[in-house]
């Protein structure tokens, strides 16, 4: 009897269930919020454009934005939105010659402190950054295809994007749908996965993805999603890595049961918000320093904010200022990557777009708990 009790106690102390250790990324039991504030915000360097150390003008990238990141082995891909060639002096916002809806750079540079050095961009036969996913470029039909986030899964790269029908008032636009493209040659060519589509009026037009180990020995990919524009809340869906190309296998967070366990539905209409706010350009990662989730997004009129999450579905803490709009006018697109941290995750690095000069910059900040 004593042996059985001792075995049970050891199992409990190990946080084990059915022989598997509880995943701290999914376990919210007895956890409290730790994040108290942000210190040491600093703009490190400019990543894109003619004045940048990367001199992306040599790829005919004089102006671009966004810069979400995905890792595959030692390589990190930086994915950009609407990209332009030469621009008029002093030009603000998108515009210029040689418009491409999306472009990509890559690097194995893991030293974030002095900026990121691109080793190259995905180029065409002329050596210029090529459009990964062509778009019609016809207003009110399909103005552009904008990548939101990508992930490496099953030996391929998957890039989630939105088909923008029309750019409206600031922070508002109409989407036709969101979908996915796949590459099996390190981003050189992409195949549209038209069997995967989410409706343009839904909550999964812009997503941020993250892979989490599951009890079966594989991985689930979690996607935090927001509508087109910057004035909707955040919902959550997941899919097994092996089923990433099957729409019917995506499940949507629909709430928790009486014991606080997450509930999932294959019907998108059952999805509920995990964050009630006005969120634009979303990014979510696991942070080792806090052992909590971090979420960043643009909150129009205020700037970029950061939230701490106990589990992927919450609860999520209150938004704290990361970068204030009054200090960096025209800011948007704050994208994190778990690879780019220091001090065991206390210092985080992230990309940030500035409408003037319409390019992507590299920032850092420290988390205080």
Does residue 23 register a pLDDT over 50?
yes
Closest CA relative to residue 364, chosen from 108, 114, 119 = 114
Does residue 5 register a pLDDT over 50?
no
CA 138 to chain centre: 27
* Residue 22 pLDDT grade (very low, low, confident, very high; cuts 50, 70, 90): confident
pLDDT digits (tens, 9 = 90+) for 261-284: 999 999 999 999 999 999 999 999
What value does the mean pLDDT take over residues 94-112?
98
Residues 6+ apart with CB under 8 A from 314: 274, 275
Bridge partners of 84?
Answer: 63
Distance (Å, rounded) from C-alpha 177 to C-alpha 142? 10
pLDDT digits (tens, 9 = 90+) for 30-61: 999 999 999 999 999 999 999 999 999 999 99
Q: What is the pTM of this model?
A: 0.94
pLDDT digits (tens, 9 = 90+) for 212-252: 999 999 999 999 999 999 999 999 999 999 999 999 999 99
Bridge partners of 158?
Answer: 151, 182
């Amino acid at each position: 009897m004593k042996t059985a009790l001792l075995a049970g106690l050891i199992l409990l102390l190990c946080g084990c269930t059915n022989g598997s250790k509880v995943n701290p990324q999914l376990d919210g039991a007895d956890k409290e919020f730790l994040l108290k504030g942000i210190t040491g915000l600093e703009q490190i360097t400019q990543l894109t454009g003619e004045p940048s150390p990367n001199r992306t003008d040599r790829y005919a990238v004089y102006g671009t934005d966004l810069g979400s990141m995905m890792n595959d082995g030692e390589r990190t891909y930086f994915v950009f939105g609407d990209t332009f060639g030469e621009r008029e002096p002093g030009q603000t916002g998108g515009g210029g010659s040689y418009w491409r809806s999306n472009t990509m750079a890559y690097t194995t540079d893991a030293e974030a402190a002095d900026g990121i050095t691109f080793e190259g961009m995905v180029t065409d036969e002329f050596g210029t950054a090529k459009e990964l996913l062509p778009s019609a470029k016809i207003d009110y039909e399909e103005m552009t295809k904008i990548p939101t986030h990508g992930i490496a899964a099953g030996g391929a790269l998957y890039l989630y994007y939105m088909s923008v029908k029309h750019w409206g008032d600031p922070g508002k636009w109409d989407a036709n749908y969101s979908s996915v493209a796949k590459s099996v040659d390190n981003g050189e060519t992409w195949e549209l996965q038209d069997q995967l589509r989410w409706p343009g009026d839904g909550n999964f037009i812009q997503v941020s993805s993250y892979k989490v180990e599951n009890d079966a020995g594989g991985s689930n990919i979690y996607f935090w999603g927001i509508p087109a524009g910057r004035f909707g809340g955040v919902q959550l869906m997941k899919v097994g890595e092996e089923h990433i190309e099957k729409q019917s296998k995506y499940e949507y967070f629909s709430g928790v049961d009486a014991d606080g366990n997450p509930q999932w539905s294959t019907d998108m209409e059952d999805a509920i918000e995990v964050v009630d706010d006005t969120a634009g350009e979303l990014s979510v990662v696991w942070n080792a320093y806090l052992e909590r989730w971090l979420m960043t997004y643009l909150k129009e009129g205020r700037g970029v904010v950061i939230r701490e999450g106990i589990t992927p579905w919450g609860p999520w803490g209150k938004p704290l200022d990361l970068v204030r709009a009054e200090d960096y006018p025209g800011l948007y697109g704050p994208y994190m990557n778990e690879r780019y941290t220091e001090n065991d995750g206390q210092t985080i690095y992230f990309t940030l777009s500035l409408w003037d000069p319409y390019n992507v910059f590299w920032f850092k900040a420290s988390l205080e708990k």
